[in-house]
Amino acid sequence: MPLYDKYDSLGLSSDKQPIVIDIGTAYTKVGFSAETSPRAILPTQVVDPETKQCRRLDASARPSDLYEFLVDFVHHLCFKHLLVSPKDRKFIVVESLLCPTSFRETLAKVLFRHFEVFSVMFAPSHLVSLCCLGLDTALVLDVGHKESVLIPVYQGYPVLHAWQAEPLAGHAVQSSLSSLLKAALGNGGDASLAVVEDLPREVVEDIKVRACFVTRLDRAQQMEEGRDPAPPPDASYREGSVPGFVIPGSVRERAYEVLFQQDNDEVAVPTMVLDAIVKCPIDMRRPLAENILVIGGTSMALGFKARLQSELKHLVQTSKYASKLAVRTFKFHTPPAKENYVAWLGGALFGGTDILNLRSLTKEVYLKKSEVPDWTSLEYNCRDEKTM
Ligand SMILES: Nc1ncnc2c1ncn2[C@@H]1O[C@H](COP(=O)(O)OP(=O)(O)OP(=O)(O)O)[C@@H](O)[C@H]1O
Ligand SMILES: [Mg+2]
């Protein structure tokens, strides 16, 4: 790639600065280490230039399909957004501790065998997010697109037996919003129903982000008891090729309730926090409750943190938790970046330190063994680490 190499040698780009990527189900954040924000936050999808067909990330796809997708996607990231060649570069991949091993292995294969990168470091998102705040103890809750994942971290170690993961995040809100819109506009029996019947996913997401909000606990309780409070104003929506229609105020207010209303198993986002604290040893509980870090794009919704705070205060007084938990105070940290790229920023800070060289898997080692160290395997978790 002479053009890109020349671009590098002119010093116009970050020459050989490690690349940091956080591949999310909905959005990928990509940039260079030791920078304060990603160069791009883009949908995790590849558009075929000829057919204009859009392929999205499916971590459970066949390994060969996933391999093909990742080759196209990493190529797109490096050559269209970062404008550098990935060859012989160091990579930091920010990933969830619960990321499937098959995904990690396929990504390593793509980076080492196809792009011939110099080294890759897999950085657990919940741990590196704490780098941004200089903390070593916190309850980290990631409310992204596909699921909410909570992992308590105590003195730098993840408390794995207390982890919680539920499919309560952006996707669940969008599904709830679609059905609320259909129910509300269907009653009118007008042309609006035809519009909302087949709203594209992007439009539903746009309505969610721009028109919906998380309501207060007292209003939510009234709605649950059937004493509907006066709804907020309706909003008219008109965007691009979608014919205009009105979003009822009650729909705007109720869309996020799916995250807070307990399901048949009595699980919701606030109970995940309390259940995790209950599973931790007694001496860890107070420090964790007083150091909550909420990250992920869905937590940027208007009113999300205030509602979570009041739900926690309310729930600890209910019979389910009052006897199990003596903690009454919950404190939230404000990260130094927008919530959707806090984990990326943690990876970028981590990549700016010398630890990167100690913790990375190099091409040489990978090509010899063709495997990626995995924390779930005891082989790599003994004191005397053989692979690093
Ligand atoms: N300002 C905002 N208000 C509400 N929701 C938002 C906002 N910005 C982004 N989102 C939502 O956040 C989600 C994306 O967040 P994020 O980038 O953390 O997810 P992801 O990393 O792709 O997903 P996951 O971590 O589940 O794999 C999307 O559902 C998006 O609609
Ligand atoms: Mg994410």
pLDDT tens string 330-341: 999 999 999 999
Distance 80 CA to ligand 1 centre (A): 22
**Angle CA 204–208–212, to nearest 5:** 140
Domain shared by 229 and 355, yes or no: no
Domain shared by 109 and 24, yes or no: yes
For residue 354, what pLDDT is reported? 87
Per the domain annotation, does 386 fall within a domain?
no
Domain shared by 286 and 325, yes or no: yes
Distance 170 CA to ligand 1 centre (A): 6
For residue 15, what pLDDT is reported? 55
Which residue has a Cα nearest atom 5 of ligand 1? Answer: 298
Which residue has a Cα nearest atom 9 of ligand 1? Answer: 297
DSSP state of 332: B
Which residue has a Cα nearest atom 3 of ligand 1? Answer: 301
Domain shared by 161 and 299, yes or no: yes
Domain shared by 32 and 110, yes or no: yes
Domain shared by 272 and 234, yes or no: no
Phi, psi of 347 (to 5 degrees): -65, -40
Domain shared by 30 and 114, yes or no: yes
DSSP state of 320: H
Q: List own/partner pairs for 57-61 with CB under 8 A and 24 or more apart.
A: 57/23, 57/25, 59/25, 59/99, 59/100, 59/102, 59/103, 60/100
CATH assignment of the domain containing 193:
3.90.640
For residue 288, how many other CB atoms are within 10 A of its CB?
23
Q: State which residues form the domain around 289.
A: 130-167+266-337
Please give the Cα distance from 284 to 188 (Å, whole number).
53
Contact residues of ligand 1, CB 6 A cut-off = 24-27, 142, 144-147, 169-170, 205, 209, 296-298, 300-301, 340
Ligand 1 pocket mutation, candidates 20, 21, 27, criterion most atoms within 8 A of CB: 27
Domain shared by 146 and 207, yes or no: no
For the chain, list residues with pLDDT below 70. 1-15, 187-194, 375-388
Domain shared by 300 and 349, yes or no: no
Per the domain annotation, does 111 fall within a domain?
yes
Distance 145 CA to ligand 1 centre (A): 5
* Domain end marker among 212, 236, 259: 259
Sign of CA dihedral 143, 144, 145, 146: negative
Distance 171 CA to ligand 2 centre (A): 12
Distance of CA 110 to the CA centre of its chain: 22
Three-state DSSP state, 383:
coil
Paired residues of 42 in beta bridges: 28
What string of H, E and C letters represents the secondary structure of 38-62? CCEEEECEEECCCCCCEEECCCCCC
Are residues 35 and 13 in contact, defined by beta-carbon separation less than 8 angstroms?
no
Q: Tokens in use for 251?
A: 């729909």
Which residue has a Cα nearest atom 10 of ligand 1? Answer: 297
Quick: pLDDT tens for 341-368: 999 999 999 998 888 888 899 999 999 9
Domain shared by 11 and 113, yes or no: yes
Are residues 23 and 38 in contact, defined by beta-carbon separation less than 8 angstroms?
no
Number of domains observed in the structure of the chain: 3
CATH assignment of the domain containing 283:
3.30.420.40
Domain shared by 46 and 110, yes or no: yes
Domain shared by 220 and 276, yes or no: no
Quick: pLDDT tens for 368-382: 988 888 766 666 666
Whole-prediction pTM = 0.91
Distance of CA 248 to the CA centre of its chain: 29
For residue 60, what pLDDT is reported? 73
For residue 244, what pLDDT is reported? 83
Per the domain annotation, does 250 fall within a domain?
yes
- Ligand 1, atom nearest to 143 Cα: 18
Are residues 64 and 106 in contact, defined by beta-carbon separation less than 8 angstroms?
no
Per the domain annotation, does 385 fall within a domain?
no
Beta strands (DSSP E) in 191-286 are 235-239, 242-247
For residue 234, what pLDDT is reported? 94
Q: Tokens in use for 169?
A: 């995040």
For residue 342, how many other CB atoms are within 10 A of its CB?
29
Distance 201 CA to ligand 1 centre (A): 14
* Domain end marker among 209, 240, 259: 259
Distance 25 CA to ligand 2 centre (A): 7
Per the domain annotation, does 194 fall within a domain?
yes
